[in-house]
Amino acid sequence: MSYESISVFDIFKIGVGPSSSHTLGPWRAAQRFVETLRNKNVLFDIVETRVLLYGSLAKTGKGHGTDIAVQLGLCGDDPVTFAVDQIDAKINDIGNMKKIILLGLHEVDFDPNNDIEFLITESLPFHPNAVTFLAKTKNGENFAETYYSIGGGFVVKEGDDVIGSEIVQLPFPINNATDLQHWCLKTGMSISDIVMENEAGWRPEAETKEGVLNIWRVMKECIYRGCHTAGMLPGGLHVKRRGAALNKKLIAGKSYSDYDSWLQTISAGGNDFKYTLDWVSCFALAVNEENAAFGRVVTAPTNGAAGVIPAVLQYYIAFCDGNKEENIIQFLLTASEIGSIFKKGATLSAAMGGCQAEIGVSSAMAAAGLTECMGGTQKQVMMASEIAMEHHLGLTCDPIGGLVQVPCIERNTMGAIKAITASQLALQSTPDFAKVSLDAVIKTMWETAIDMNHKYKETADGGLAINVPLSLPEC
């Protein structure tokens, strides 16, 4: 039986906000295009390059920074390492000089206003998020490649079959929740242990652990940064950042000097329900405000939903005595497998499935990770994931102004709280009596995505996007 090999590092990617589909994906696609030109030994012969954006990338590309992403990708810059505080300066230089340095090696004329086209009335059949790169050499030879950003930072070149990591033979091949349950029952292993064994198909266990802890490092740095950065978000909606103000209110004058002492201060405040609820919201707000401000985040499994998993994991660390490396690894490995199953059975793309594909999937992933770390059985883990998604089915993607701000930022708080609730419900339940399976809810999610009107799929053509004046702030 064929299956798709997806690693934890395919589901969790370090990058730059505000969107995995509209920023990270096109950025990676642009990088691949200029690498192709170099591999064909024509890079230094290029005299002209253009970018064509189709469908959802065209309709909300400006608000999602797609034009910025493709320029940085053409320059050969990497979203994992590029200094986010240098983005504006570099983009301004390209616009003012009307020149771009392909792969950082070869300068050509390039006017972003003319050479990036937003074809808002055109869409390609394979996926709504499509981008075509064109290049011409001094001898008149033309090169063109089309890429599809299919959600979660995954990119497919037209004509290619491989989507995730390099296909390898894994000890526990998994396409759906039934497969996962089969291996758990056969081996008695936890979901995180199954994932760790599969990851060994790509790299040694020590490298996987180091990489997962690095993912958490970026997440917690993003939380901390977002909780200490005030001001207004870019884009013209005049949305005020709330994470820093809420953090200040909850800390109530207590002193700290870094993340660790901040965490200790939070934990010392107790486990009062309202107090805990406020902190979970604060964590999620902080991450997605950073995401909206072109900050460094972890796609989890998308940028628009990047705050859910960090918020729930931070909750587990701060309020459930989970601040141990092995628990953090366990949480993220379990969550990644659930995200992988949703990708295989449905979609991670809001342009294909609405916000159920982003906040819904991230909530299901977080619920699963938390449940395993809290001692839940494999069946309870999958039950928690199912519960979380069941109550996000049909959630639309309707960003006001095409920006990943309203209602996206607040939706991360809702997804995080639902994940915690779903976990608690599963831990207090007997999965054998459940009426809905995880595979059933994934199938339903995909059928809902197919039936959903296109205007509720990241186009800003419906919902809140057309019923709230652009000048109206979120709060």
pLDDT at residue 471 in the model: 60
Q: Are strands 154-157 and 142-151 parallel, antiparallel or unpaired?
A: antiparallel
pLDDT at residue 161 in the model: 64
User: Does the pLDDT of residue 437 top 70, yes or no?
Assistant: yes
A 10 A CB-CB count for 130 gives: 27
| CA atoms of 169 and 429, how far apart (whole Å) | 35
Helix segments in 268-407, DSSP class H: 273-292, 308-319, 325-345, 350-353, 359-373, 378-390
User: Does the pLDDT of residue 473 top 50, yes or no?
Assistant: no
DSSP 380-435: HHHHHHHHHHHTTTT--B--GGG-S-TTHHHHHHHHHHHHHHHHHHHHTS-GGG-S
pLDDT at residue 4 in the model: 82
Higher pLDDT: 474 or 299? It is 299
| CA atoms of 198 and 269, how far apart (whole Å) | 40
pLDDT at residue 25 in the model: 95
Q: Taking all residues of the chain, what is their mean pLDDT, rounded to a whole number?
A: 95
Considering the segment(s) 177-467 as one domain, its CATH architecture is Orthogonal Bundle (1.10)
Evaluated on CA atoms 288, 291, 297, 303, the torsion sign reads positive
| CA atoms of 374 and 405, how far apart (whole Å) | 32
pLDDT digits (tens, 9 = 90+) for 259-284: 999 999 999 999 999 999 999 999 99
DSSP 17-53: SS-IIIIIHHHHHHHHHHHHHHHTT-GGGEEEEEEEE
| CA atoms of 346 and 312, how far apart (whole Å) | 23
pLDDT digits (tens, 9 = 90+) for 396-409: 999 999 999 999 99
User: What residue ranges do the domains of the chain occupy?
Assistant: 18-157, 177-467
320 in Cβ contact with 174 (< 8 Å):
no
User: Does the pLDDT of residue 474 top 50, yes or no?
Assistant: no
pLDDT-derived band at 63, boundaries 50, 70, 90? confident
Six-digit token string for 414: 């809702």
Q: What is the pTM for the complete model shown?
A: 0.94
| CA atoms of 233 and 63, how far apart (whole Å) | 12
User: Does the pLDDT of residue 475 top 80, yes or no?
Assistant: no
Residues of the chain with pLDDT > 70, as a percent, come to: 97
pLDDT digits (tens, 9 = 90+) for 184-225: 999 999 999 999 999 999 999 999 999 999 999 999 999 999
pLDDT-derived band at 159, boundaries 50, 70, 90? confident
pLDDT at residue 352 in the model: 96
Q: Average pLDDT for residues 62-72, to the nearest whole number? A: 95
181 in Cβ contact with 188 (< 8 Å):
no
In this structure, the dihedral spanned by the alpha carbons of residues 198, 202, 208 and 214, taken in order and rounded to 10 degrees, is -130
A 10 A CB-CB count for 184 gives: 20
pLDDT at residue 362 in the model: 98
User: Does the pLDDT of residue 165 top 90, yes or no?
Assistant: no
Higher pLDDT: 3 or 312? It is 312
Assigned CATH topology for domain 18-157:
60s Ribosomal Protein L30; Chain: A; (3.30.1330)
pLDDT digits (tens, 9 = 90+) for 283-338: 999 999 999 999 999 999 999 999 999 999 999 999 999 999 999 999 999 999 99
In this structure, the chain runs to a length of: 475
Angle between helices 308-319 and 359-373 (to 10 degrees): 20
pLDDT at residue 470 in the model: 73
